[in-house]
Amino acid sequence: MIKELLGHAHIGVTATVYAHVRLRLQHNAIDLLGRALHTSTEIIGSRDGGDQPTCAAPVR
C-alpha cells in the first residue's frame, strides 16, 4: 500500500528508504520500555524491602 501511494516501482525501494526509520522507532520504544521497567522495579523494590523478585511492573 505504501509503495503504491509513494509511487515506487518496487517494494525494495520503499524498504530501503524507510527501513532506518522503523529500526530507530523500535530502538526508541525498547529504550523507553527499559527505562520504565527499571524505574518501576526500583519503586516496587523500595516498598517491599527489595528482597522479593518483581513479577510485573506497571508501565506508564
Give 3-48 pLDDT, tens digit per residue. 898 899 999 988 888 777 778 888 888 999 988 888 766 666 655 5
d(CA 22, CA 20): 5
In sign, the C-alpha dihedral spanning 14, 5, 24, 42 is negative
Residue with cell 524505574: 39
- The whole model's pTM is what? 0.40
